[in-house]
Amino acid sequence: MKYEALAKSIIRNVGGKENVNSLAHCITRLRFKLKDESKADTEALKNMEGVVTVVKSGGQYQVVIGNHVPEVYAEVAAIGGFQAAAAEATDEKTGVFNKFIDIISGVFTPTLGVLSATGMIKGFTALFLSLGVLTSTSGTYQILNAIGDCLFYFFPIFLGYTSAKKFNANIFIGMAIGATLVYPTFSSITASGEPLYTLFSGTVIESPVYLTFLGIPVILMSYASSVIPIILSTFVGGKIEGFFKKIIPSVVRTFLVPFCTLLVIVPLALIFIGPVATWAGQLLGAGTLFIYNLSPVVAGTLLGAFWQVFVIFGLHWGFVPIAINNLTVLKSDPILAGVFGASFAQTGVVLAIMLRTRNIKLKSLSVPAVISGIFGVTEPAIYGITLPRKKPFILSCIAAAVGGGIIGIMGTKGYILGGLGIFGIPSYISPEGMNRGFYGMIAGITVSFILGFLLMYFGGFKDDEVKEEHTTGPKGDVLVKQETVMSPLKGEVIALSEVKDEAFSTGALGKGIAIEPSEGKVLSPVDGVLTSLFSSGHAIGITSDHGVDILIHVGKDTVKLKGKYFTPRVKQGDAVKKGDLLMEFDLEAIRAAGFILTTPVIVSNSGNYLDVIETGKKTVAYQEDLLTVMI
């Protein structure tokens, strides 16, 4: 129940559970499919404590949480009951590319944890073999190798499950299709039997035929580790299943629908879908390798430079099936190799910031971001530190580009889909051992990390910290740093717990206080930058020069007024000083319209500070002390 309040606030701000079609999560993000994204309060989510940011990409509404996303996901899913909602359809029109990204992420995301785990085991087993710690005939090696190979070898079964869920089909039918594709007897037939005849003789798709189905030739392929055949077969199988559901009486539907569906889709998959999809995969692999080989150094440089941009918008999912297909068809992949240095570049930049900054808040954010970055999870670094400051993010992209160029020119390839960060290093050991490509990878990530660090450390570093207020001891020594937030309104002071809005009263959005205004003006409570101004004018976000994020939310549900009765006097991005007029509002007209004007003033990132102390006054005037943030 640790994240119950946060989960409830997230559900409310994505438009309620009735606005959610489905919910999934990856390493750091909740991935919603919403019926209507306009119903989601994106700015409220961005300003919520516990939420890093919001990204809308690939037809998904992504709420970036951080490393504890599994716990938050469990709470959100339990409270919203989204397992059941996942099967609902949506009429939302999305582009072809967005649909592609959505399908790929939906199919592969559930497998990534175990896929990375087994890949890591496979990689470390290869490392131990190369170092002579294990021999290929030892029982330890055989068992570890089996663990490492199991998921990827039987990948069609796992993808049959996830594809069926994504296509709203029977998951066990999907798994049965996958199991048939990797049925061991088919492999033994091709290994020991004589072909009946050969199709397409003399062409690039020349295919021996070992068996027939009702007289129709079946081209047996090796579907172990394959990706495209099972996804397409499950998609078609779902359509066939839907057809039989319509015509078979409900009293016998439970067993007759799977019976009929499997009798149709499995032969179709083996005779037509599987071979065609396999040939398409081979062409995709050959085409990818051809483009990459035109100039590996240019390809590596471009991939390294833009990979983090792809991650921000969720576009990196487009590369996942290509990489897996390359591993299946070519037994190696140069694409993801080129981007391997990006997380190390990002980590080097954040490490430099951590060592240079005197800002306690920024330093405290940098420490876990560096640790996460070492293990390949860079969202906390990107969204929490480098991207908001722009220059560090650009420097990390430059460092990643240089590392990617080195990796490209050295011909580095990945041989398994393993772990992230340092756990991904064994993935680049070839079956023959540590070769030129492996050492090129080591050089690439080392250069990315060191260059990112040096560029940030000596590249005109500008600290966030400015002169801060503090309390001193009897000898003048600094005891506690603090920042005072002045009152932006005039009126009666109300405890935050008494606000009739659970998002504020529970403290889910941050600590603070509320004011019942007696005049229709909002003044700046600090020196800083106006970081968010809602289009409806009812709420303002300010980041102080000390890094304190302050949210002023005028009234309850006043967003429904769509800006009526609110007159902003500043625009987003403006630098403001204490006492500057930010906004005016027609206090009487808003109340006459039936809205409550109780205005929370909260520190939305209060979790970064020791405490937030409220004023003890019953009423406040403009620019009187309201909150004290203990830094």
DSSP 273: I
Angle between helices 155-166 and 96-108 (to 10 degrees): 130
- Rounded to whole angstroms, what are the CA distances from 568 to 445, 559, 563? 48, 14, 9
Is 317 buried (19+), middle (13-18) or exposed (0-12) by CB count in 10 A?
Answer: buried
Four-residue CA torsion sign, 506, 508, 511, 516: negative
* Residue 141 token pair: 């090696």
Q: Are 567 and 533 in contact (CB under 8 A)?
A: no
DSSP 334: S
Looking at the annotation, which residues are catalytic? 26, 553
CA 124 to chain centre: 26
Site of tokens 């592969």: 108
Task: State the DSSP string of 76-144.
Answer: HHHHHTHHHHTT--------HHHHHHHHHHHHHGGGHHHHHHHHHHHHHHHHHHHTTSS-TTSHHHHHH
The strands making up 566-568's β-sheet, listed across from edge to edge, are 521-523, 581-585, 566-568
For 585, phi then psi, to 5°, come to -145, 150
DSSP 314: T
Is 171 buried (19+), middle (13-18) or exposed (0-12) by CB count in 10 A?
Answer: middle
Long-range CB contacts (within 8 A, 24+) of 285-291 = 285/325, 285/326, 285/328, 285/329, 285/330, 286/329, 288/322, 288/326, 288/335, 289/326, 289/330, 289/334
Question: What is the Cβ-side half-sphere exposure of residue 167, based on CA atoms within 13 angstroms?
Answer: 27
Q: End-to-end distance of the chain based on CA atoms, in angstroms?
A: 28
Pairing of strands 491-494, 619-620: antiparallel
Q: Are 105 and 97 in contact (CB under 8 A)?
A: no
Rg of the Cα trace of the chain? 29
CA dihedral of residues 362, 363, 367, 372 (deg, nearest 10): 20
Number of neighbours of residue 560 by Cβ within 10 angstroms: 13
Task: Collapse the DSSP code of 399 into the 3-class scheme (helix H, G, I; strand E, B; otherwise coil) and give the result.
Answer: helix
DSSP 313: T
**What is the rounded CA–CA span in Å between residue 136 and residue 130?**
10
For 361, phi then psi, to 5°, come to -65, -50
* Residues facing 530 on adjacent strands: 542
